[in-house]
Structure formats: structure tokens, C-alpha cells
Structure 1
């Protein structure tokens, strides 16, 4: 089946900071869009533009050729996919199920195995790029699953991302996202310390940023979150609480493999301190407060 906008009904579960923009790109491309949220208000903008809202996962699954999910935690993923009223039990035969949540690699493997037994196609496809990447359709999409399934849904991925790579079998997308989060965790500490040093030494942090972001120190976090740190803007492109969840998954997976990750462990501890101070619903750039309070 060719998954064109003329013959494909797409379901979307998870219309949060990133999910709403991702779903909007699919809707704007002409696909019939169905959404599930616990309350219609969270999908109000999409519904006004023609999306059909469902009050259960099962009802959405029954009418969709493709279902994309981006929810909060692995427990949410497990419920949405493997629960009695979930996607695997209720999806149309031959449907494609794409989890874009950052979740457990082992859970991704379980979902894939359960899907295969039901004649379904499952892919794990976590993303990176935050709210900016989601709005601009420039997310990095890391995919695990069968190559044929990957190629079938590539047109949908291309609406949401600009760097789309099949990493390997089921679970490989999630393992790749763990690599991404480990790199970010250490980098965020460096970004914060560099900008704190700039401020403490009497430099203008924005002027410093102009010099260092294009050199060897350059990174996505420095260029995109550095200005937010300097401005005291803690609004979430990616929540502190969700980053802590991701680091916990990565630490558990690394431990299982016998890999020591001290920088990741330190970053997790700092973010947990931040959450304990009431910043769990703020953006990850709020880590700057460990060095510089408003």
C-alpha cells in the first residue's frame, strides 16, 4: 500500500509541546487526521482544522492506517500499545504503528514482537530537535524496525524531520536516542558553565555566544538554548521531567551493558536537584539556575 494523503488515515496520540506541531505538518499535507487526547481541548487547534477527536485509543485505532504516538513515559507507551484497549489489540490488520516517544529499547522490542503476531508493522522512531525542530519540520528521526516498513512510512517522516535514519532492527531507534541524550546531558553542563563563566567574569554573555557558537564549542544546545538561558526564559521546548526520565532509561541500559557513564550520572543528579526545587515542568535550559539564579 502506498501511504499517500489520498488513501491514508493517520492517527496521532500525544499533542503536547512537540506532538501538536508534528501532527499539524501531517494535517497540512492533506492527510485525514484523527487524534486521541484525554480532553478535546488539548487538540482544539487541530480539531478546528478538521481533525477527528476520539475519546479512546481503541476507537482511533479502529479507523487508522497509520498511528503515531509521542507520549510521556514508558508506562504510557506500554498502556497505549499493549493494554487491553491499546493499539496492538485494536488496530486494523496491516496498520503501521510508529512510536516517537523517547522510551525503553526493550519495550520497543516487545511492541514489535506483539505487533508482528497481529499482522501489524511497528517502528520505534524517537526524535530530537525540541519545540523548534518540531515547528519547523526539521526533527532528527532515529528509527528501529524493518526496512520495508521504514520505506513505506518515509513520506510521513519527511513531513516532520530533515535527518531521517534507519538505525537497525526494533529497539535501535531508542538505543540511538539514548546516545543522543547522553551527549546532550554532558553538553548542557558545559553550556551552563561556559555562560556562567562569561557572566561572572563581567563579559556580555550574548557577545560571547556570537564568538563561541560557530567554533569548536558549537552545539545545538549552545545556539538554541544558550540565548534562552541568558534571557532567563525557562519555558519548555523539552521538559526537565522528561529529560530526567530519558537519563534514567539510558543509565539503566548502560548498567545492563556494563558501561560506566559518569557524566550522565552527574547530569541526572543536577537535574533531579532542579526538579526538587520546583522546575520539573520547565525547559531543560533551566539547569542554568544551578549556576546563576534570576
Structure 2
């Protein structure tokens, strides 16, 4: 069976690795990114560069996007030169950006008018998950469309779960971010405490990451915190965006989320200190500074 031609929009920290896995698996991949140089390594692997989103959309069976913010998603899908006005009838669009559930539903409804199927499929796992093709993928939309592209998801992820109707992928990802938010502060505070107590931090990790405190953040980002390695696996500015959306959605539901609100407060302060383009693990620096001031 011939594999579908995939259009990939957004070749940043995560998108580049995701697109590379698809190329290596034998898919024909068309790529577009606002900064062309960020797609150069993919072109070297065999991807075809497209000069515009319109050209990419007209020549792809499945179009995947992973960009920065909901405003970017809205622009690439709904503008006159965007994906939906140029996608082929019968094609499938998949937005893997963490975005607004309401926007996912808007894109789904608009796609139907163009005889295009739409899925919202945000991911979790950061740069490590993207590089290792072990991402968790949370999918909302029609199950028929999901079944048609499940093989594609399985190339870039290991935990692919269909969550139901349009927008549910985004709601699931927001649940994920809520769980991470306060947990990131806990990981940083645990490290600070252990260091101040004079403990061997490697031995501390050996004990607590396999007990009740174990988490992806502790095992993968904890060591980066200790090394003061703040390279972005996931940008601070994008995490703040996710928390903002989660707070807005929670307020619509009449929910009070104290852990989420406190985490956003700390990350907002981190952003104001110039850490927007660092990884989320850099929050330990903000907490260390606050503790010293205290």
C-alpha cells in the first residue's frame, strides 16, 4: 500500500525530530517553516521544501502542524492562504500544537466545510520524547479519521490514545499540563532541599525516582536542573501559554486550581527575569533566588 504524502508545518525543537522519523520511515514529507534554515536538515534527509503553506497543503494527503501559540494555529489554518483553503478534499489535518479546545472545534467545523477531516493531537514528552519517538499523543476528532492516520502517530509516539470528539485531545493535554505545573515546583524544591542538606544528589535520585515521588519530570528534568542545563526541551514561554489556557478553561468550568495558579505565578516571574527561551527546568533558578532572598 502506498504511504500518504505528509505535509509538516513547524520544524522547531520537537517538530524537526518528528518529521525526521516520518522521513526515515519512508513517508514523502513536504515541509514549511517560517525560518527556512530550521528545515535544512530535513531537506538533507529527503524532505521537499515548500515555499508556502498553500503549496504544501495542495500537495499533501495529511498535514501536520506543531507551532507556538493559538494565534499561530489560527493563522496557518484559517487565513485565506492557510491550510484549509488549500487542502485537498478528503485530506486530513492534524494540529499537534497545545492550543485552545475551542479553536480545535472551530478548525474541525471549518474543515468539514472543505470536505477535510480534522484532528487535534497535542503531544507530551518534550525534546527527549520527540528525538526517541516515544511521545504521548492525545487525539480528539472523528474516530474514522484517527484510524486512517494511526500508523503515522505510531511512528512518532509510543502512547497514542484516542480521546473522543474534537477538542478532547486539547482538554487531555491541559490536564497533563496541570499535573506537571505544581509538580515541576516540587521537583525543584526537592533538589534544593537535598543540596542544602548536603546529600549526594545522585543517590537521592536513585532513591526517590523509583518511589512514590517518581515522575517523568524528576527523572528527565531533575538531572538537568542539577547541572544547570537550561536548554529548551520545552520553552518557558510555551509552558506559560499552556497554563494560561488551562486557567481560562478551568474558570469556564467554575474550578479553582491553587497549584496551577501558583505555578503560573512562579513561571511568570521567571519569564520577567529573561528565561522565556529556556527550558521549563530553569524554574529551579527562580526558586533558588527566592529562597536566598528569604
TM range (shorter): over 0.9
- Which residue of structure 1 aligns with residue 233 of structure 2? 237
Alignment of 1:59 onto 2:55:
yes
- Which residue of structure 1 aligns with residue 28 of structure 2? 32
Alignment of 1:199 onto 2:186:
no
Match of 1:275 among 271, 274, 279: 271
Distance in 2 between the 1:49 and 1:184 partners? Answer: 34
Q: CA deviation at 1:7?
A: 4.0
Match of 2:107 among 96, 111, 135: 111
Q: Which segment drifts farther, 33-42 or 158-167?
A: 33-42
Distance in 2 between the 1:197 and 1:210 partners? Answer: 16
Distance in 1 between the 2:135 and 2:50 partners? Answer: 27
Contact map agreement 2:78 2:85 (CA 8 A) in 1: yes
Q: CA deviation at 1:182?
A: 0.1
- Which residue of structure 2 aligns with residue 217 of structure 1? 213
Show CA shifts across 1:57-79 (max 9, x none): 11100000000000000000000
Query: How many residue pairs are counted as aligned between the two chains?
Result: 290
Show CA shifts across 1:193-250 (max 9, x none): 1111001111122221111000000000000000000111000000000000000000
Contact map agreement 1:37 1:55 (CA 8 A) in 2: no
Alignment of 1:137 onto 2:133:
yes
Distance in 1 between the 2:287 and 2:235 partners? Answer: 19
- Which residue of structure 1 aligns with residue 262 of structure 2? 266
Distance in 1 between the 2:200 and 2:178 partners? Answer: 29
Q: CA RMSD in A?
A: 1.1
Contact map agreement 1:206 1:230 (CA 8 A) in 2: no
Distance in 2 between the 1:216 and 1:136 partners? Answer: 26
| Unaligned stretches of 5+ residues in structure 1 | none
- Relative to the length of structure 2, the TM-score reads 0.97
Q: CA deviation at 1:39?
A: 3.0
Contact map agreement 1:142 1:164 (CA 8 A) in 2: yes
Distance in 1 between the 2:200 and 2:228 partners? Answer: 14
| Unaligned stretches of 5+ residues in structure 2 | 290-294
Show CA shifts across 1:17-68 (max 9, x none): 0000000010001111100112321100000122111121111000000000
Distance in 2 between the 1:276 and 1:181 partners? Answer: 21
- Which residue of structure 2 aligns with residue 93 of structure 1? 89
- Relative to the length of structure 1, the TM-score reads 0.97
What secondary structure sits across from 1:208 in the alignment? helix
Alignment of 1:171 onto 2:167:
yes
